[in-house]
Amino acid sequence: MKNRIQILSILLLIALTALTACGTKPVNNPVNNPTGVVPNSLQTIEAAAEDIIDSAPSGNWDKINTDVTDIADAWKTYQTQAGKDGTSQELQDAMTSAVAKLNTASGKKDAAATMQASNDVSAAVVEMFALYNPKIPADIGRLDVLERQVILDVAAQDYSAAMTSLAHTKSVWEEVKPSVLEHNGKEVAAQFEASLDAQESALGAKDDAALTKEAKDGLELEIVDALEQLY
């Protein structure tokens, strides 16, 4: 009987250890040398993806095609170190798929599809940035991607998707807000939260113009400039 109790105790300990190790949120493997320095290839992808979203509305396809090529080349370069640096296969597959969709959409000169694929590229690359413990929290980059997604969802008049994107934005904001406040960001935090409230109200009223304006203000003013400047 005593031996049976000991065996049960050991099995319970093993089970609890396994549950603790699983955690509540899937993450990539840690980088071998988390120096805070993001590889140039990933920085190239991020910059080119944002450039495409800026260029697509005006139809500057020569510029877009150059950016698409830069992204494809940079991704090919980074793949040689992706696994070693802890990038999961799932995330690598997401980036490969996004790059392929971007190439197809830009080849068809489909502005909406090109911007969406470019934001998908940004969504994948920000998760890769996170592996290197950059000075600016990865959540700031996630907010950048999500606010752009709200704009894209509204442009497609997909209010359900916009609602999901906005809810995700608010969730990520709650994660990074303590860090923003610790970096003397009380004022900009208040501004961003006011923008989120305004976006939620506009979404409820299906006011495309107001929602797009607020999302752009949050994206271009609070997030990119003010929040990043805190770090």
Model pLDDT for residues 48-58, shown as the tens digit of each residue: 999 999 999 99
Q: Determine whether domain 136-231 maps to CATH 1.20.120.
A: yes
Segment 139-179, tens digit of pLDDT = 999 999 999 999 999 999 999 999 999 999 999 999 999 99
Name the packing angle between helices 208-217 and 138-155 (round to 10°): 160
Q: What separation, in Å, do the N-terminal and C-terminal C-alpha atoms of the chain show?
A: 61
Query: What predicted TM-score, i.e. pTM, was given to this entire model?
Result: 0.83
The confidence score (pLDDT) of residue 8 equals: 36
CATH architecture group of domain 35-134: Up-down Bundle (1.20)
Domain boundaries of the chain, sorted by first residue: 35-134, 136-231
Residue 165's pLDDT is what? 96
Q: How many whole angstroms separate alpha carbon 140 and alpha carbon 176?
A: 7
- For residue 225, the model assigns a pLDDT of 72
Q: What is the pLDDT of residues 54-82, one digit of tens each?
A: 999 999 999 999 999 999 999 999 999 99
Q: What is the pLDDT of residue 36?
A: 79
Dihedral of the CA atoms 116, 118, 121, 126 (nearest 10)? -100
**Average pLDDT of the segment spanning 24-38:** 57
3-state secondary structure 165-189: HHHHHHHHHHHHHHHHHHCCCHHHH
- The pLDDT of residue 20 is 34
Band of residue 220 on the pLDDT scale cut at 50, 70, 90 = low
Q: Which residues contact 88 (CB under 8 A, 6 or more apart)?
A: 28, 29
Instruction: Tell me whether domains 35-134 and 136-231 share a fold.
Output: yes
Q: pLDDT band for position 14 (50/70/90)?
A: very low
Integer Cα distance of 176 and 171 in angstroms = 9
Q: What is the pLDDT of residue 2?
A: 39
Average pLDDT over residues 101-112: 98
